[in-house]
């Protein structure tokens, strides 16, 4: 459509002639804002802000990724809650003296409850004043360390850290001590996690027990011993401050090498403690005036006797608690051994073994030979190893000169390992070698004529230096020899079974084999009480007479003809008492036949002497096998009135925190917690099982007192003037010698023999060799104690009777006082089947 003409518009007003037309007004346009000129500072700020934001976000992402990477590789810290550091176990005697230390590592762990508060405060003040407030990492401490390091920059001093106690625990126990930034990051993360998982007290406990404080001491308890030979509760304030100064650099504050530095650091710790209120200012001032006087650790004195006993305790601990807990669990073991009695027991056994060896063993010659020149005998002698079994007081000496009536011997003394060896010489006279005379038949000895019959120049022999007979006289020497015969002794309390002393052989150094608990030997006639006891329990009176005459027993191997010790001697009809006092084998066989070997075997098992004993008549004469400890416990059953006695070596075991985890005496004590002073003292109930009739047990005890007073065991009670019961034992061909005896207070079993069983020699009996040793031990055990009679049980009838030429009180069961009559026997033969018959209707 063509554009319209404005002139066609009816409202069009044409312009006047000569006047130019006016254009229509234009639509107004809005004003544009004026642009500001860009600011250089604002642009730079925006750029920096953007870069910072990007950097923060990127750093956060990178930091989180690094944290995730580090955290994924962190060690597990949760085991610290139950961590128990390796700690030595200690075994103590009955008098609280130390017997032994069992340890894989020599550490002393102290629970936080046992660490004095001031000791705790010293380390907190010195190492981490805000320990109780922060959560593993201390920002204020970090800031303070940064400022201090800036101030000291360029001084050459070591840069200080800001590790908290928790971080040090993480470092010492989890991440190691390498000086890298990565280790510090790992340490900080672990510290925060540890604080979330463990209470502060546990963290401080770990720190105070694990930190190294110099002198090979780990932990505050070990350091207190190492520096001052004290327990933590014995330390002075000044000594506590010194220990608190050590974690920073123990070697730099060694009080012997750097006393001034140690004192300055100690005083700084005391000031911090006063600042924190752990001590008063006056206490700090007084403590600063104290000198630091180290009293370096001396190993605790260990009892020098009872090594076989201690080894038995160690084995029992391992069986009960395991090897790891025994050596690293910090156990405190209280045992029953009495060191004075133990020393007397070992001395008595060695004296008995030496006596036999000198009488029967003879001189077996030197232990070595050297070319004893005048100048070089010392190094040659020092090169000779000590023979196993040499007693500590014995010396190895070399014969330098040998004359007819004397010899000059030299040996080496070294009182202190840090000092050089010192040569010593002395004279060995004829009286020092008199025991080496050759033994002739019928216990006679060949005369000693010359010293050359015993020694030659260059012989290396054991000697003992004897004290001079008078002042100003030279020392005397005596020739010594380790015996080949061995022995064992057990002494125990019959009221509870506590083993008071035990010797397992000549010496633990010679052999660790414990012959008291590990050697199975025939008890011989010392077993006979367990044959006669079932007869007494069945009502047979002690004065019942049995035939002491020849007997033959048919066995699958043929005819067995037992005999008495004195072959061919017979006593006719004798009482049970007489048979035991004289140790008559033939009567014992007849009694065993009457009661039945099944009953004898059951009695031996009841008393713990022999388990599952074969039911052969020969067993009635002690041909079974048992141990010295079992025999002692068996006889303790008589002394305790027929109660079972279980031997024990350990009284109690405590863990590292003092909690009793095992006790041998399981009896309950009603009324032991009474608080009123007017209440009656409590009585412990005897809960031990009754294994024999009390009257029969007393009858056996009464009979066994006759063995010591008038029988084969008179050497056991010679001169002691107190009631003693016991029985000798000698096995076939004199292989084993025994004496087992007791009083109301103690049971002692003694055995002698060779490890490889062989004869001790004709007429070497238990009454001759074992009984005197028993007497020495008993005298030491009851020295200065009044005699105590055996207590008769209720219901027993005591009747005055004659025993040979002595008047005694015989014990009877009620109604059996007049029932004794000879036991008849058809012929003189018995069969294996007949050996199993019981008393039947004889009584």
- The residue among 156, 240, 251 whose CA lies nearest residue 213 is 251
537 noted as active-site residue: no
* Three-class HEC string of 667-735: CCCCCCCCCCCCCCCCCCCCCCCECCCHHHHHHHHHHHHHHHHHCCCHHHCCCCCCCCEEEEEECHHHC
**Distance of alpha carbon 531 from alpha carbon 525, whole angstroms:** 10
**Distance of alpha carbon 583 from alpha carbon 523, whole angstroms:** 13
Which runs of consecutive H residues, i.e. helices, occur in 198-322? 200-210, 220-228, 237-245, 259-275, 281-288, 307-321
Specify the DSSP element, H or E, that contains 797.
strand 797-803
Q: Count of CB atoms within 10 A of residue 220's CB?
A: 27
- The residue among 226, 234, 146, 161 whose CA lies nearest residue 191 is 161
**Distance of alpha carbon 345 from alpha carbon 746, whole angstroms:** 13
Helix/strand/coil for 369? strand
625 noted as active-site residue: no
Enter the tokens of residue 785. 């104690």
**Distance of alpha carbon 358 from alpha carbon 437, whole angstroms:** 9
**Distance of alpha carbon 516 from alpha carbon 505, whole angstroms:** 8
Between 220-228 and 200-210, two packed helices, what is the crossing angle to 10 degrees?
A: 40
Enter the tokens of residue 759. 């004869």
**Distance of alpha carbon 546 from alpha carbon 576, whole angstroms:** 7
Enter the tokens of residue 390. 């040499």
Enter the tokens of residue 421. 């060896």
* Three-class HEC string of 407-471: EEEEEEECCCCCCCCEEEEEEEEHHHCHHHCCEECCCEECCCCCHHHCCCCCEEEEEEEECCCCC
CB of 789 within 8 A of CB of 753?
A: no
Q: Which of 89, 125, 336, 525 is catalytic?
A: 525
**Distance of alpha carbon 412 from alpha carbon 416, whole angstroms:** 12
**Distance of alpha carbon 188 from alpha carbon 777, whole angstroms:** 66
Q: Which of 127, 312, 346, 594 is catalytic?
A: 127
Could you give the count of Cα atoms lying within 13 Å of 152 in the half-sphere of its Cβ?
A: 12
- The residue among 296, 297, 298, 302 whose CA lies nearest residue 101 is 302
Could you give the count of Cα atoms lying within 13 Å of 820 in the half-sphere of its Cβ?
A: 17
CB of 166 within 8 A of CB of 203?
A: yes
**757-762, long-range: CB within 8 Å, 24+ apart, which pairs?**
757/521, 759/733, 759/734, 759/735, 760/356, 760/360, 760/485, 760/734, 760/735, 761/360, 761/734, 762/734
Specify the DSSP element, H or E, that contains 558.
strand 558-560
**Distance of alpha carbon 246 from alpha carbon 268, whole angstroms:** 12
Backbone φ, ψ for residue 464 (5° rounding): -120, 130
Enter the tokens of residue 527. 């077993």
CB of 131 within 8 A of CB of 199?
A: no
Q: What is the phi-psi region of residue 801: left when phi exceeds 0, alpha when psi lies from -120 to 50, beta otherwise?
A: beta
- The residue among 799, 795, 790 whose CA lies nearest residue 819 is 799
Q: Count of CB atoms within 10 A of residue 402's CB?
A: 19
Catalytic annotation, residues: 127, 525
């Amino acid at each position: 459509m063509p554009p319209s003409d404005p002139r066609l518009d009816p409202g069009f007003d044409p312009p006047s002639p000569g006047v130019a037309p006016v254009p229509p007004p234009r639509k107004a346009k809005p004003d544009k804002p004026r642009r500001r000129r860009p600011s250089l500072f604002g642009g730079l700020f925006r750029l920096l802000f953007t870069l910072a934001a990007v950097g923060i976000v990127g750093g956060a992402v990178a930091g989180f990724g690094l944290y995730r990477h580090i955290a994924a590789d962190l060690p597990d810290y949760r085991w610290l809650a139950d961590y128990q550091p390796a700690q030595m176990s200690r075994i103590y005697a009955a008098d609280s003296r130390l017997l032994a230390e069992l340890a894989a590592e020599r550490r002393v762990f102290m629970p936080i409850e046992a660490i004095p508060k001031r000791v705790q405060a010293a380390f907190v003040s010195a190492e981490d004043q805000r320990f109780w407030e922060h959560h593993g990492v201390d920002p204020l401490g970090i800031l303070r360390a940064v400022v201090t390091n800036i101030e000291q920059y360029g001084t050459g001093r070591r840069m200080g850290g800001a590790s908290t106690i928790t971080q040090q625990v993480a470092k010492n126990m989890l991440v190691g001590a390498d000086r890298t930034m990565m280790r510090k990051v790992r340490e900080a993360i672990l510290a925060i996690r540890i604080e979330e998982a463990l209470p502060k007290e546990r963290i401080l406990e770990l720190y105070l027990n694990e930190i190294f404080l110099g002198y090979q001491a780990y932990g505050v308890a070990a350091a207190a011993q190492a520096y001052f030979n004290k327990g933590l509760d014995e330390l002075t304030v000044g000594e506590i401050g010194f220990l608190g100064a050590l974690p920073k650099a123990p070697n730099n504050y060694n009080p012997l090498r750097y006393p001034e530095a140690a004192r300055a650091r100690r005083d700084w710790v005391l000031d911090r403690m006063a600042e924190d209120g752990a001590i008063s200012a006056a206490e700090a001032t007084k403590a600063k005036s104290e000198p630091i006087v180290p009293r370096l650790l001396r190993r605790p004195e260990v009892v020098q006797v009872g090594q076989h006993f201690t080894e038995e305790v160690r084995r029992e601990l391992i069986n009960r608690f395991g090897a790891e807990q025994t050596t690293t669990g910090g156990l405190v073991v209280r045992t029953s051994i009495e060191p004075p009695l133990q020393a007397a027991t070992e001395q008595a056994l060695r004296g008995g073994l030496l006596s036999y060896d000198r009488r029967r063993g003879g001189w077996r010659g030197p232990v070595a030979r050297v070319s004893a020149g005048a100048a070089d005998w010392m190094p040659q002698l020092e090169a000779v190893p000590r023979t196993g079994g040499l007693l500590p007081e014995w010396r190895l000496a070399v014969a330098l000169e040998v004359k007819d009536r004397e010899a000059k011997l030299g040996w080496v003394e070294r009182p202190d390992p840090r000092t050089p060896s010192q040569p010593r010489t002395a004279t060995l006279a004829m009286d020092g070698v008199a025991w080496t005379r050759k033994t002739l038949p019928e216990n006679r000895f060949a005369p000693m004529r010359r010293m050359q019959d015993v020694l030659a120049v260059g012989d290396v022999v054991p000697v003992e230096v004897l004290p001079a007979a008078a002042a100003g006289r030279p020392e005397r020497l005596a020739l010594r020899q380790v015996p080949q015969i061995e022995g064992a002794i057990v002494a125990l309390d019959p009221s509870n079974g506590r083993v008071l002393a035990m010797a397992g052989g000549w010496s633990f150094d010679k052999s660790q084999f414990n012959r008291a608990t590990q050697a199975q030997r025939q008890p011989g006639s010392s077993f006979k009480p367990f044959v006669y006891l079932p007869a007494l329990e069945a009502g047979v009176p002690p004065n019942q007479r049995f035939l002491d005459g020849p007997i033959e027993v048919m066995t699958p191997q043929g005819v067995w003809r037992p005999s008495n010790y004195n072959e061919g001697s017979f006593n006719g009809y004798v009482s049970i008492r007489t048979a035991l006092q004289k140790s008559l084998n033939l009567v014992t066989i007849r009694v065993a036949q009457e009661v039945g070997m099944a009953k004898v075997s059951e009695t031996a098992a009841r008393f713990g002497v022999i388990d599952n004993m074969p039911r052969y008549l020969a067993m009635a004469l002690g041909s079974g096998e048992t141990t010295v400890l079992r025999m002692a416990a068996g006889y303790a059953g008589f002394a305790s009135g027929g109660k079972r006695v279980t031997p024990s070596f350990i009284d109690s075991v405590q863990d590292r925190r003092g909690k009793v985890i095992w006790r041998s005496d399981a009896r309950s004590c009603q009324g032991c917690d009474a608080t009123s002073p007017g209440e009656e003292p409590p009585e412990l109930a005897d809960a031990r099982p009754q294994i024999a009739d009390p009257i029969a047990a007393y009858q056996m005890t009464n009979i066994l007192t006759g063995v010591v007073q008038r029988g084969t065991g008179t050497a056991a009670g010679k001169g002691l003037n107190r009631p003693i019961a016991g029985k000798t034992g000698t096995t076939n061909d004199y292989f084993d010698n025994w004496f087992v005896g007791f009083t109301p207070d103690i049971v002692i079993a003694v055995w002698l023999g060779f490890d490889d069983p062989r004869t001790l020699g004709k007429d070497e009996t238990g009454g001759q060799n074992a009984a005197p040793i028993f007497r020495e031990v008993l005298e030491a055990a009851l020295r200065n104690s009044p005699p105590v009679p055996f207590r008769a049980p209720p219901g027993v009838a005591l009747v005055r009777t004659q025993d040979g030429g002595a008047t005694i009180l015989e014990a009877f069961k009620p109604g059996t006082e007049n029932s004794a009559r000879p036991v008849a026997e058809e012929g003189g033969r018995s069969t294996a089947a007949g050996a199993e018959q019981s008393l039947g209707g004889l009584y």
